[in-house]
Structures are given as C-alpha cells and as structure tokens.
Amino acid sequence: MSHPRVTGVGVTPFGEHSERTGRDLFAEAGLAALDDSGVDPDDVEALFYGNFMGELAEHQGHQAPLMAEAVGLDVPATRYEAACASSGAAVREAVRHLRSGEADVILVGGSERMTNIGTAGATDALSIAADDLYEIRAGMTFPGAYALMARAYFREFGGSREDLAAIAVKNHDHALPNEYAQLRKEITVEDALGAPMVADPLGLYDACPITDGASAVVLTSAEYAAEHDLDASVAITGTGQGGDNLALHDRENLARSPAAEKAADEAYADAGVGPDEVDIAEVHDCFTIAEVLAIESLGLYEPGDGIAAARDGKTHATGETPVNLSGGLKAKGHPVGATGVAQIVSLTKVLRGESPWSDDVGGASVGVAHNAGGTVASATVHVLEVQP
C-alpha cells in the first residue's frame, strides 16, 4: 500500500480577523497550499473541509462548496464536523480516499471565524460541542470541563499548577519564531501563576485564545506525486480515529482520554511504528491539562508521567520528544475548524526542514498529530513520515 503524500501546505496568520469572512480566510490558505504543491488546480478532484460553528458565527451553513468556489475549484466539496477535530476528520477521510484509488489529488482544509461574535458569543458557540441537555443547561463551559479533568488528574496522579504553567511557558517559547502564531509573547511561570483564575485550577494562561484563521494541505497519491515530479518527501503513513461518551459524567475516568488512545493505537498500527519512534508531536492543547492527557494517550508517556514532561524540559524543542513546536493551540491559536489541518502543516514544515525549529530537531523523520473534539469525545491521530 502506498501512502498519500503532503505535497502542499498553506495557512493564514492566526489571530483576530473579525473584518474578514471565512471564505476570504480559506481562499488565502487554500491558494497558498496549491501554489506550494505545484499541482495543477485542474487536477484537484475534491475538497474536504472542516468547520464547526459557521452557522452560529457567520450564519452560513453548507460551507464546503462555498470554499471550493473561493479557491477557484469546481469539484465535489464536503464539510466535516467533529467539533474541534473537524479538519482532523477531513484529513482522515482524504487519506482513505487516496489509498482506495478513488482520487489522486484532494485539497483538505478548514477555517473558523470566531472573534466577530465576541468572547461571550464564541464561548456559547463552542459549548454546543458538549451535551446540551445535561451539561450546557447546567452551566458547563469548556474551561470548567477541563478544570474538572485537571482536578481528576491531580487526584489520581498528582501534579500542580506549576506543572501546568511550565507547559504554557514552553508553548509560548515555541511560538515566538512562528510568524503565523497568535500569541508571540514570552511568559514566565510566575506570569502564568499570577494570571486571573478562569476555572480552578486553570488560569488565563492555561487556556488557548479565541482565534480566526484557516489552513489547507494538498494531499496526493504517491503515484501522482512521482509522475509529476513533485516535492513529496512527507507522507501520511498512519491514520486513526476514536470516540467516547459526549458528557463527562458518562465517562469512567476523567484523567484519561480513551478516544485518543484508540485513535493512537489505530494510527500506529496502520503506520507500522510505535510511540518510541516518534520524533515530534503536535497535540491538541486547548488547555494545558489537555497536552498532558494527549501525550499520555499517544503513548509518549505512561499515565501520570506526562505532567512533569514540560517542567523537566523533555517536550521542549531541545528535549527528547518536542511537543507543539508551532506553539500549539495555546499560543499559535485555535481557529477550531482549521486546527487539525494546521497541525499537519506544522509537522510537514518541520519534517521538510522549513520550520524555525528544524535545526533543533535535525534528523526528525516521524511526527504525530493529535486532534481532539470537545472534551475528547472525538479524536483523530495521524502519523507523518519522511520518505526516501
């Protein structure tokens, strides 16, 4: 079985773009990916597009054909929705289509416009990824939900706010040279601990920002890439997806992420690699505790060991397994529908040697992307590898 190749990547700056429309943002990312790929746009056979809150933020459903039009494509276009894992799900479906031979060239991307509806509006829109009947109506927000998960983790495994602060500091450091990141601002552990409390034990610097932005990748079959002499050194060799109960009160254990564990097991088996072979990772750190749960779900750390990884320098750019060299959702930003594909963009740039951090991780050849929806009721994991 040949593996689909990442032949082009594109991303907008992440941040506040309330004056721009979603179609404008996606056009920028999609056209950049097509230009980077060297693929003739006439060869693109489909658009797979991730978006979560378009109906609420822009009063616009049925976005996929609109986005195809925005990049000048007349192709079948499908929107994928899995909350914050929307474009991760789109990537997975594209990989499966390319492997089956149903297509040779697919544009995959996502976008989200959030700042135009304000903090209260965005918080309300995001909340619909939780159980409306039993969580939202009771006043649950995602900061509150992840605070419960953090408390459960501390109770089972130990840990402290200082450990979480170290994750925020690390991801802000990683974002500094990323020209597309939203929060290019150095912070200290003291800054994080002194910031306003959002939902105990999570403070302001434990949470990702509200973000506008778009991302896109051109995926092709290996055969197409070879036939057209494309720069296709990075392949997606493994894909996995897992699910869990939507509401927290229906979970057996709030200190673990079974959906991500299932997705990781499937992706590793699909790629024929193990977690010990992973050189770099981009994980879904919507809150600092989420990075801990993610790296443990990926098997990079045993349960209970991930909490100290950033504090001990292990997940820094110069550590044993760098995590979120882009700055992660925490500092790069989190335009929900664009996040999963943005992780693929970031990993591809590092593996190609085009990232500001590439020299620090010289020789990296295996990367893993972890994209989660809600409180990880949905999760996708993808393995990327440099090909000879």
d(CA 74, CA 291): 39
| 307 and 292 Cβ atoms separated by less than 8 Å | yes
Sheet holding 213-220, edge to edge: 77-80, 46-50, 105-112, 213-220, 5-11, 234-243, 378-386, 366-373, 280-282
Residue 336 CB contacts under 8 Å (≥ 6 apart), including other chains: 51, 52, 53, 83, 84, 86, 112, 114, 126
- Give the integer Cα–Cα distance in Å for 126 and 339: 14
CA atoms within 13 A of residue 53's CA, in its CB half-sphere: 26
3-state secondary structure of 159: coil
Report the C-alpha gap between 129 and 122 in whole angstroms. Answer: 12
Task: Give, as one character, the DSSP assignment of residue 39.
Answer: -
Residue of 174, 334, 370, 382 marked active site? 334
- Sign of the Cα torsion 137, 138, 139, 145 reads negative
Under 8 Å between Cβ of 270 and 96: no
The 10 Å Cβ neighbour count of residue 200 is 12
Of 40, 356, 33, 52, nearest in space to 217 by CA: 33
Contact 216, 91 (CB under 8 A): no
Whether residue 284 lies in the annotated active site:
no
CB 235 within 8 A of CB 95: no
Select which of 84, 172, 316, 382 is catalytic.
84
Residue 231 CA to its chain's centroid (Å): 24
Q: Give the phi and the psi of residue 31 in degrees, each rounded to 5.
A: -70, -35
Residue 208 catalytic? no
Nearest to 53 by CA among 134, 130, 112: 112
**Catalytic residue positions, numbered:** 84, 334
